[in-house]
Amino acid sequence: METTTLASWNVNSLNVRLPHLEEWLKLRQPDIVGLQETKLEDPRFPDSVLAGLGYRSVFCGQKTYNGVAILSRRPIDEISCVMGIPGFEDEQKRVIAATVGDLRIVNLYVVNGQDVGTEKYDYKLRWLDAVHDWLAEELKSHPKMVVMGDFNIAPDDRDVHDPAVWNENHILTSTAERAALRRLMDLGLHDSFRLHNEEGGVFSWWDYRAAGFRRNLGLRIDLCLVSDALREHCTAAEIDREPRTWERPSDHTPAMVTLG
């Protein structure tokens, strides 16, 4: 199979982070990129700028909050694009899917959930249920699938800086959230990072507050899941910390996977 590099990056406003994205695309030259938290309405999406760097774009955004996009150096089958979870009424722009060659790319900005027990937490769990049922269907017609995104769930204790704080009752690590992620993965979706790395303390997000990055007080919540059919083709996975070191960074850094 042709070598393909994919990345997921929550840019926390593409308006602010476009220079970072341009710089990083030139540096790493990924084939396919999923962006989250673009925070841009569609008419303002910088597709011509990205085209200048060789990337086609499909996007689904809104003002102020949320917003997702897929960029690709190869043709995107626009007919096959899906915006939102089919059958799940949702004002929030958190889901986009597209086909590139024989790869199905699903890009998710999973609900944060605020705090365990809140209305937003319930919405997160309902939303993840709907994603589960949709992906179960989607996998039947698209076995070669990459499900990437900001999952807003740290898979296990290796993925948090302090498991005493980030425990079974805490948002992003609670029992129900981890069970929902497990249920998604039980569809035959594998955390590419864990196919190649066993160590803890490798993070993709650090809070802007309390100098989180400098002290490496982070979480690994940005994931690239590969389907059963791609598992043996997954040759590498890493988190690229570099853009987090740049001036005025996103609080997230890209999670990458290589298929070959």
Partner DNA sequence: ATGGTGGCCCGGCCA
Return residues touching DNA (CB under 7 A): 12-13, 15-16, 39, 63-65, 111-112, 114, 120, 152, 165, 207-210, 248
Amino acid making up residue 131: V
Q: How far is the CB of 100 from DNA (least distance, A)?
A: 27
With respect to DNA, which residue has the nearer C-beta, 7 or 110? 110
> Radius of gyration over alpha carbons of the chain, in Å?
17
Question: Which phi and psi angles does 69 have, rounded to 5°?
Answer: -155, 155
Nearer to DNA, 115 or 242 (CB): 115
Minimum gap (Å) between residue 250 Cβ and DNA: 8
SS3 212: coil
Question: Minimum distance from CB of 114 to DNA (Å)?
Answer: 5
The residue among 79 and 164 lying less far from DNA, judged by its C-beta, is 164
Least distance to DNA, CB of residue 39, Å? 5
Dist CA 181 CA 48 (whole Å): 36
Shorter beta-carbon distance to DNA: residue 3 or 114: 114
Amino acid at 213: F
- Tally the C-alpha atoms within 13 A of residue 24's C-alpha that lie toward its C-beta: 28
Tokens linked to 212: 């989180």
Active site residue 150: yes
- Which residue among the candidates 31, 55, 121, 150 is catalytic per the annotation? 150
Q: How far is CA 156 from CA 58, 107, 152, 195, in A?
A: 32, 21, 12, 14
**Closer residue to DNA (CB): 11 or 145:** 11
Q: Which long-range CB contacts under 8 A does 61-65 form with residues at least 24 apart?
A: 61/93, 62/91, 62/92, 62/93, 63/39, 64/39, 65/37, 65/39, 65/92
Question: Minimum distance between the CB of residue 218 and DNA, rounded to whole angstroms?
Answer: 13
From residue 3, alpha-carbon distances to 11, 187, 203, 237 in Å are 25, 25, 25, 13
- Selected catalytic residue, list 109, 121, 159, 191: 109
Active site positions, annotated: 109, 150
